[in-house]
Chain A
Amino acid sequence: MRKLYPDAKSALEGLTFDGMTVMAGGFGLCGIPENLIAALRDSGTKGMTVISNNAGVDGFGLGQLLETRQIKKMISSYVGENKEFERQYLAGELELEFNPQGTLAERIRAGGAGIPAFFTATGVGTLVAEGKEVRNFDGRDYVMETGLVADLSIVKAWKADERGNLMFRKTARNFNPMMATAGKACVVEVEEIVPTGSLDPDQIHTPGIYVDRLIKGTFEKRIEQRTVRTRESA
């Protein structure tokens, strides 16, 4: 029961400080740690560097931390859905580092796996490779990218047991499993916490070793692009 916390606020106690680096899971608004992002905003932590594939939308997800100016720098692959982000970036109030999406995912995976750097063909000959070591292996050029770690990772999973073993659901998995491994502290929010022993050990996506603190959250699960088809009448 040591990992269980009553709410997002208490789960972040003692883990936040100004100037810290935070990884936040999710792709768009899918699989984002809604509860912990809100608690991070309420904590008033300033000058954060946030590593996340996207930057939320105005007023939701990481957009909440942008509105309150708590983010100094974003490391992302795509940030197109956020007007406040655009305004702060163009005004020079916000730093931005673009990483190709697969390079970002692998940098986080490597960070969590104790790998300080790796070589990838992604970005060779582009702006992304500028200033980085390029090495030729078997006739092809590869650029060196470094592993990423953070002071804190905030993760959204579907289910957990009380020991922090995690299962994700559908495409809400995305960056969450790697981020769980790459934070000095990892706090996870889930939809359901079940008694230890009730998840099939063969179906655990992230073993509890990576999870320091765990809460049961409540979720809005906002949809960015609701696209549907209509049933043809019989």
Chain B
Amino acid sequence: MPRTREQLAERAAKELQDGFYVNLGIGIPTLVANYIPDGMEVTLQSENGMLGMGPFPYEDEVDPDLINAGKQTISEIPETSYFSSADSFAMIRGGHINLSILGAMEVAENGDIANWMIPGKLVKGMGGAMDLVAGVKRVVVVMDHANKHGQSKVLKACTLPLTGTGVVSRIITDLCVFDVKPDGAGLELIELADGVTLEEVAAKTEASYTISEKLKSLA
């Protein structure tokens, strides 16, 4: 059974570690915040100028001066700090953020990612995505394995304009998890979602990949 959106977020939350500073993208990545294990100290960064992002506010606490990078109203928590956009991206570009979890339209086996532009369609802009993939220590992509036309989004090479080159470390899809090996060494399949077979992944993946020893021993 392919993972649901909630199950994808729950799986992505396993990438978190105690003490991490994390930037979550819009969409499924935002849901990861709901699965931070109790007792684990994880600080969320919002690139419009906030560390220590709290949940949505109660109706009587809504503050137009307090929004996240998706322009949604949010709340502050005891450890919150605020800063300018220049400081925010210094933090990102300077490698101080441990992990970025974000969505993608395409990811290639060398770690290239495309998630901001479809030629011929109206382009809204890259926002902070190019800075995040270039600057954050570890970039994990969470996405559906195939697009709505059923085509693989895990590719030998991206076809869409890139957001960054060789920057993705791990790909979590509704079917499986790939590690992107360093220095262009390609993909390794390391996990299958419950009930998903090696054959199904093989049939639905355009990129080439190896299979981890652990997965082979289970098969």
Binds B, one of A6-14, A165-173, A208-216: A165-173
Give the residue name and chain of the A residue nearest to B162 (CB).
Answer: A126
Cβ of A173 and Cβ of B131 under 8 Å apart? Answer: no
Report the Cα distance A89→B163, complex, angstroms. Answer: 22
Report the Cα distance A155→B185, complex, angstroms. Answer: 48
Residue-wise interface mask of A (156-182) relative to B, using a CB-CB cutoff of 8 A (1 in contact, 0 not): 001000000000111111111110000
Given contacts A101-B85, A121-B93, A171-B50, contact A78 B125 (CB under 8 A): yes
A136 beta carbon closer than 8 Å to chain B: no
Which residues of chain A from 74 to 92 have any CB-CB distance to chain B below 8 Å in the complex?
A: 76-81, 86, 89-90
Chain B residues with Cβ below 8 Å from A125 are 112, 162, 164-165
Given contacts A126-B162, A169-B65, A221-B65, contact A174 B124 (CB under 8 A): no
Binds B, one of A16-24, A42-50, A226-234: A226-234
Instruction: Say which residue of A28, A127, A173 sits within 8 Å of B83 (CB atoms).
Output: A173
B135 beta carbon closer than 8 Å to chain A: yes
Given contacts A79-B124, A98-B126, contact A170 B66 (CB under 8 A): yes
A108 beta carbon closer than 8 Å to chain B: yes
Cβ of A171 and Cβ of B70 under 8 Å apart? Answer: no
Cβ of B134 and Cβ of A123 under 8 Å apart? Answer: yes
Interface of B (DSSP majority class): loop
Tally of B interface residues using CB under 8 Å: 52
Binds A, one of B10-18, B51-59, B208-216: B51-59
Chain A residues with Cβ below 8 Å from B73 are 223, 225-228
A102 beta carbon closer than 8 Å to chain B: yes
Cβ of A30 and Cβ of B57 under 8 Å apart? Answer: no
A93 beta carbon closer than 8 Å to chain B: no
Give the residue name and chain of the B residue nearest to A143 (CB).
Answer: B134
**A202 nearest CB across to chain B (Å):** 16
Report the Cα distance A229→B86, complex, angstroms. Answer: 31
Chain B residues with Cβ below 8 Å from A30 are 48, 64-65, 67, 71
Report the Cα distance A46→B83, complex, angstroms. Answer: 33
Tally of A interface residues using CB under 8 Å: 57
A122 beta carbon closer than 8 Å to chain B: yes
Report the Cα distance A171→B166, complex, angstroms. Answer: 32
Instruction: Say which residue of A90, A126, A178, A227 sits within 8 Å of B161 (CB atoms).
Output: A126
Give the residue name and chain of the A residue nearest to B128 (CB).
Answer: A101
Given contacts A101-B128, A177-B86, contact A121 B134 (CB under 8 A): yes
Report the Cα distance A122→B83, complex, angstroms. Answer: 21
Cβ of A171 and Cβ of B67 under 8 Å apart? Answer: yes
Give the residue name and chain of the A residue nearest to B166 (CB).
Answer: A125
B47 beta carbon closer than 8 Å to chain A: yes
Cβ of B125 and Cβ of A79 under 8 Å apart? Answer: yes
Cβ of B84 and Cβ of A175 under 8 Å apart? Answer: yes
B41 beta carbon closer than 8 Å to chain A: no
B123 beta carbon closer than 8 Å to chain A: yes
Instruction: Say which residue of B66, B67, B88, B131 sits within 8 Å of A122 (CB atoms).
Output: B131
Report the Cα distance A84→B101, complex, angstroms. Answer: 32
Chain A residues with Cβ below 8 Å from B131 are 100-103, 122
16 sample A-B contacts, Cβ–Cβ < 8 Å, listed by A number: A28-B48, A28-B67, A30-B71, A79-B124, A80-B124, A98-B126, A100-B126, A101-B127, A120-B93, A123-B130, A124-B164, A172-B65, A221-B64, A224-B67, A225-B73, A226-B62
